[in-house]
Structure formats: C-alpha cells, structure tokens
Structure 1
Amino acid sequence: MARLIALYTGGKDSTLAVQKALEAGHEIAILLTTQPSSEDSWMFHTACLGVQHILAKSMGLEHAYVQVSGEREREVKELADHVARIAKEYGADGILSGSIASLYQKSRIDSMAAKLGLLHLAPNWGAEPRGILEELLARRYRVMIVAVSTAGLGREWVGRSLDRESVDELFRLSEQWRFNPAGEGGEYETLVLDAPIYRLPLGVEYTRVWLGDRGHIKISRAMLVERTA
C-alpha cells in the first residue's frame, strides 16, 4: 500500500479520490491544496480556496497550502518542486489525484510523478460522468456548486446542491449545450460540505457573485458544525 500526497481542492472529485484511496488501504500522508496567483490556471481549482484546512481537520488528516503562479506549464513545475519537498518531509511514495477525464491534467501529474520517482493514483480515472455523480448520491455526499462558467448554467446554479433533481437536470442541459455534466472541463466547481469520511460537516456563510456569463460564491465564514438528521 502507498503513502500518498493527495492533491486536494475540497471538491467532489478529490474528496471521492481520498475516500476510495482510504478504502483501498492506502495512507494519506497529507492533503495538498494549490493556490494559484492567477484565476486563469489551466491545472488547478481556484474556487473557495481557504477552507480546505477545515475539511482536513474534519477528516483527521494533515494539510498544507502551496502557492503556484497559475501560469501554464510554469505552475506544474512549481507544484513539482513543492511535491518533491513534501514527499521527502512526509515519507510519501505516491501522489493521489481526482482526475476523471482531463488528459491535460493527468498527463502532467503522470510526468511529474515519474520524474520524482512517485506513484500516481487516480481512482476516478475513466469513470463515466453519470457514474461519478450517481456514486456521490449513493454515498450521500452533500455537494454544493460553488462556481459556474459555461453556457447553459446560469446564476441559479451558483450555490445549488447536487441532488437527484439537479443531477438529472445537468444531464439534460449538457446534451443541449454540449458540456461535460461532471464538470471535468471546468464548467462548474464544487465544494463537499459533508461526506462519509468527515467527522463533522462544513457550514458556510456566503454571498453569490454573478459576472454576466459566469459566477461563484464568496465565503465569508466557514466552520465545522454538528451533523443534523
């Protein structure tokens, strides 16, 4: 079994990857969240950064933030430098990612891992969008859509929960507007408020920001709260 550095955003894909890795008997050495200086990052999630350490506490896992430029390719090299240092510090022998279908992301993490002599585990890789979203529902994840940036998803989707109704609607809209219903192309970003691997769920206070053709939530307060039935 591997001791892993988990590339972690707090979103549905990276959280599900952490749960699957733990279920497979792997150890999570640390959750690592990248903070791009630019919102135009090709590689990394930029929505709702700054709450991931709270989620790590709920899971009882170590966590660190690392800064990257957000510039294409340069940000990958910067992450590799951070991973090399952290792998040595934490005795990690692998990287965990939540990649589903993005060859751009997976190929770069594969290359990084190979150069550093690390494994790259991507337990969601190759899963169908319907399968991923149905698995989240079956596992009773509470997932909030925290950013949208594609035609077909309007302001009403900002802050909306992923549930049976919204998942079915995502698939209808994705057929009409030709986007990835799992959000793998950055069409939307998510934050997992509760999951089976959380000791306590995350509560957030936020406002919605809409910029004409895209939008996001702005979190003003985040804390762990008691779980309600």
Structure 2
Amino acid sequence: MYQTVGHHAIDLYAEAMALPLYRRTIRGRSLDTRQVYTKCEGDEVEDLYELLKLVKEKEEVEGISVGAILSDYQRIRVENVCKRLNLQPLAYLWQRNQEDLLREMISSNIQAMIIKVAALGLDPDKHLGKTLDQVEPYLIELSKKYGVHVCGEGGEYETFTLDCPLFKK
C-alpha cells in the first residue's frame, strides 16, 4: 500500500512546502486483504491510523488527500481510517482519465522524475532519471500497445517530485 522508493528524501518535501512532517515506522503488514477493510491488529493500515490520529491531535486537520487513481485497495483503506478518525477523505484523482491527468500534471509545472521502473517497455538504462514530460509520449505509446497505466498506477514506475507550484523553495 505504501511507496518506499525514495522515502529517505521525504523530509525535503516538508522543507520545500514549509510544512511539518509526521512519520511513523510501518510495523504492520498487509493482513486484511479483503475488498472491504476491517480493523485488524498488526495490519499496516493500523500504522496509518495511529499516525493520522497523532496528526489530527497536533494540527487542525479535517481531511486527508488520497493519491489513488484506480486502486480500490488503497482508497478503501484510507477511507476506513478517515471514518474512524472523523476526517474527510479527499480523492480528487479517483478514476480520472490517466492521459488527461498526466498532461495536467505536466502543464501544471510538476517536475517529477522516474526513480523506479517495473513494466514491460520501461528500461532502467533509458528511463530512470527522466522527467514525466520527457517520457509522456512514450508512456502513452506503451499504454496503447501493452495496457501500461500512463500514470504508473499499476506499479509500472515510481516518481519523485523535484519541483511543483506547492514548493516555496
């Protein structure tokens, strides 16, 4: 459920946006893999619950943004945690057309670099270190040819954002 590639640099996001950063070690693992999640001691979702509970206590947080585009698994688990903490889940990307979304990210000056590849047609020697605007036409071609998710929603690739309008420095 969690992206771990590049996690060692997450503190740079908080610094760039001038926001506090809250982290918690994920001690649990994926135990309840059913479509509808039920609270389960030792599940990784409970680590998220404890972290968001702390954030809610320390900050004036009323909602949590979910980056899932297609993953019911992720969205449902975040919604479960939000419901239990009386927080509003915000899933603005949910079921968006991925080609449109990728173009919007690029036109919004989000500079995201590919830091992991794991799909047919994506070659570490050619694609690692490239930004989304550099590979957009190729990702669309792979989508049409092999069904690759243009935004990497199926784990085809992972990115790290180098710059975006939210960054203050």
Q: 1:95-134: per-residue Cα shift (whole Å, max 9, x none)? A: 1121211111001111111122111112212211011110
Aligned: 1:194 with 2:152: no
1:120 is paired with a residue whose SS is strand
Residue 34 of structure 2 corresponds to residue 65 of structure 1: no
Partner of 1:220: none
Q: Percent identity?
A: 29
2:115 paired with 1:157:
no
Q: Which residue in the other structure is 1:40 paired with?
A: none
**SS of 2:132's equivalent?**
coil
| Residue type at the aligned position of 1:62 | P
1:135-176 superposed Cα distances (whole Å, 9 cap, x missing partner)? 11111221100111122211111111111x510110111222
Secondary structure at 1:56's aligned position in 2? helix
Unpaired segments ≥5 residues, structure 2: 32-42
Identify the structure with the greater strand proportion. Answer: 1
Q: What is the 5 A alignment of 1:1-229?
A: 43-69=1-27, 71-73=29-31, 74-155=43-124, 156-163=126-133, 165-200=134-169
TM score, norm. by length of structure 2: 0.86
Q: For residue 30 of structure 2, what is the amino acid of its counterpart?
A: R
Kindly report the root-mean-square deviation, in angstroms, between the aligned alpha carbons of the 2 structures: 1.5
Contact 2:28–2:46 (Cα < 8 Å) also in 1 = no
Cα distance in 2 for partners of 1:95, 1:61 equals 15
Q: TM-score scaled by structure 1?
A: 0.65
**Higher share of residues assigned helix:** 2
Displacement of 1:70 in angstroms is 5.9
- Kindly tell me the number of residue pairs found equivalent between the two proteins: 157
Deviation of 1:85 (Å): 2.2
1:173-196 Cα deviation digits (max 9, x unpaired): 122222211101111100110111
